[in-house]
Amino acid sequence: MNITSYFSKDLFQGKTVFITGGSSGINLGIARNFAAVGANLGICGRAQDKLDAASAELRELGARVSAHSADVRDYAALDRAMQRLKEELGPIHTLVCGAAGNFPCPAEQISPNGFKSVIDIDLMGTFHACRAAFEQLKETGGNILFISAGQAFMPYAFQAHVGAAKAGIDQMMRNLALEWGRFGIRCNSIAPGPIEGTEGVRRLVPEGSADKLKKMIPLGRFGTPDDIGQLSVFLASPLASYITGTLVVADGGQNLPGSGAWTHLIMAEMAKAKG
């Protein structure tokens, strides 16, 4: 589905969107859709080769792109990246907090450092991005999109670290929506389900089990990066100007039956893989 069949190609003309973790996966899908509606794009990530490839792809779509090698755990580096972005493309209108870390691990086996790593990337990294972008968002009356997950509100096996981080992100989103509304800044979260072709699916869905898992989703399929990208454009657009402090779940209905059957299948497949 081409987003320009529904949204004007100049919907975000002259507006700058900054996406943490924007060089791959869901976040690159979000960047593609903002590029299609005229946005200037800032992306950051740790892998320079991925940043270079993503920048080239987005420029082919006609976007002006500013790529920054920055780790969201490093507030000073993120702040410098955003200041440079403002000089190059103008102040941030939409911030997408998408940088994340994940690995499946039983709670009793997660090391303190492993748990802290996910908290530092997901939760602290999200706060760093919001804090660094605040003055620019205040200037533009912009908005923040937080990329959450079903683990924030539904317990999943081997995801205690991720659930804690994502739940923290969603509560921070609500607090910032409450506090920063007076500046005209809107804040909303998106909780994607499993998204085809992403690192998350590669890590969390055992090989050979995708078809079984799809049958547990009411809509019968995994999502696509465009599903999340198009939703992101809508939430950042004037069409959603009265929506703030909200978690939008885009999972094909995955979490409606609860996590039990999904969790049992994942656990069985992982046990089988270990022999």
The answer to whether the beta carbons of residues 142 and 93 sit under 8 Å apart is yes
Rounded Cα distance between 38 and 204, Å, is: 34
Distance CA 29, CA 54 (A): 10
Active-site residue, selected from the candidate residues 148, 189, 232, 274: 148
Task: Decide: residue 179, CB within 10 A, 0-12 exposed, 13-18 middle, 19+ buried.
Answer: exposed
Per-state percent for the chain, helix, strand, coil, to nearest 5: 50, 15, 35
How far is it, in rounded angstroms, from Cα 232 to Cα 247? Answer: 12
Residues 6+ apart with CB under 8 A from 230: 1, 3, 6, 33
Identify the active-site residue in 166, 212, 214, 237.
166
User: Residue type for 15, please?
Assistant: K
9 is catalytic: no
Is 50 designated active site? no
Q: Give the residue numbers annotated as catalytic, written as ranges.
A: 148, 166
